[in-house]
Chain A
Amino acid sequence: MIIDDEVAAVLLAIAIVASVFAIAQILLSTRVVEPFSELGLLGPRAKIGDYPKEVLVGEKFKLYVYVGNHEGRTTYYKLLVKLGNASTFVNSSVPADAPVIKTLEVILVNNATWLYPLVLSINETGINYKLIIEMWVYDPEIDDFKYHGRWVHLWLNVTKP
């Protein structure tokens, strides 16, 4: 079969565009433009919403913690669950100065996510408890964990049964 010049030119043009697109995909797939990590707190059904607001002293309640790694490399995360109050300060550069009630650790490869059921109970009554979850990551340069500037919090009132 003889392909005339016009048809060959069109086929070549398609092949060139497809090849350039494929190579661009290969080159761009390994490039991380803006590395970031995700931290989320989900309700007892692993969905956003239905968060507990009032819990009884000693009563177990369930939440889900969600972590996503988009740092472009395998990352070792440590999540500190802290229990503070209305005056506990936390922001993206300052971790909360509150007691740690639970620690979670996980190592995630790039683009992996982790959903963990967190069962907690609080043994003291009080209002406006601030349940804080902070994300810390292992930094090989300092050979220790450092605060990653990500945190979530939940307001809770703890009452007597």
Chain B
Amino acid sequence: MNSSKNRVIAFLMVTALLFSLFARLGNAQPSAEALRKRLIAILNELVKIEGLGYNVTLEVKELNRALALIRKYERGGSPEYLVEAREILSKLESELPSLKVKAEEEKRFRDLMLALSILFIFVLVGAFTYLVFIGIWKIWYYIRRDWVVVPA
């Protein structure tokens, strides 16, 4: 009875130890090189989003902030800079999917507005033609004013 109790306690202790170890690994010091790779990956995604016509100025500002922190660390700064840079990059990574959806929606809306504007111009041109050139038949009539209908 006692030995099984000990086994349960040992199991719980090992589990707690593993949990704390994984928790530590999760917060482990990120490397500057790994963060630079993540930064590049985010940049590539932002360029794609920008290609859809979305303004990524705010996101690029954050990316520059992360880059500055990584550079500070590389010049001999505190490892805290890397942790802060990682937080910024993680936040940006989490925002990317929604940004992409928003950018695609905005592009669709812009394309629709553009198509409607072009249609509107065609309508205006039609109305203009009607108002200005409707009397064109008068010219046709004027040219033929002297024509004489000859019986066959």
Contact with A20, one of B44, B67, B121 (Cβ below 8 angstroms): B121
* A110 adjacent to chain B (CB < 8 Å): yes
Whether the Cβ atoms of A16 and B124 lie closer than 8 Å is yes
Whether the Cβ atoms of B47 and A73 lie closer than 8 Å is yes
Interface size of B by Cβ–Cβ distance < 8 Å?
27
Whether the Cβ atoms of B50 and A73 lie closer than 8 Å is yes
Given that A5-B131, A12-B124 are contacting pairs, would A19 and B117 also be in contact in the complex, using a CB cutoff of 8 Å? yes
- Chain B binding surface, main DSSP class: helix
Residues from chain A with Cβ under 8 Å of B35 in the complex: none
Please report which residues of chain B, range 111-135, place their CB below 8 angstroms from some CB of chain A when the two chains form the complex.
Answer: 114, 117-118, 120-121, 124-125, 127-128, 131-132
Bound Cα distance from A112 to B60, whole angstroms? 11
* B101 adjacent to chain A (CB < 8 Å): no
Whether the Cβ atoms of A109 and B60 lie closer than 8 Å is yes
* B46 adjacent to chain A (CB < 8 Å): yes
Instruction: Give per-residue flags for A52-79: 1 if the beta carbon is below 8 A from chain B beta carbons, else 0.
Output: 0000000000000000000001101000
Bound Cα distance from A8 to B57, whole angstroms? 44
Whether the Cβ atoms of A109 and B57 lie closer than 8 Å is yes
Whether the Cβ atoms of A12 and B47 lie closer than 8 Å is no
Q: How far is the CB of A56 from chain B (nearest CB, A)?
A: 25
Residues from chain B with Cβ under 8 Å of A107 in the complex: 43, 60, 63-64, 67
* A138 adjacent to chain B (CB < 8 Å): yes
Q: How far is the CB of A2 from chain B (nearest CB, A)?
A: 14
* B53 adjacent to chain A (CB < 8 Å): yes
Q: How large is the interface on A (under 10, 10 to 19, 20 to 34, 35 or more residues)?
A: 20 to 34
Q: How far is the CB of B76 from chain A (nearest CB, A)?
A: 14
Q: Which residues of A contact B (CB under 8 A)?
A: 5, 8-9, 12-13, 15-16, 19-20, 22-23, 26-27, 30, 73-74, 76, 105-110, 112, 138, 140, 143
Q: Which residues of B contact A (CB under 8 A)?
A: 40, 43-44, 46-47, 50-51, 53, 55-57, 60, 63-64, 67, 71, 114, 117-118, 120-121, 124-125, 127-128, 131-132
The list of the 10 closest CB pairs from A to B, nearest first, reads A12-B128, A9-B131, A9-B132, A19-B121, A16-B124, A109-B60, A109-B57, A5-B131, A74-B47, A107-B64
Q: Identify 11 residue pairs between A and B in the complex whose beta-carbon atoms are under 8 Å apart, listed by A's number.
A: A5-B131, A19-B124, A23-B117, A23-B118, A73-B47, A73-B50, A74-B43, A76-B40, A109-B57, A138-B40, A140-B44
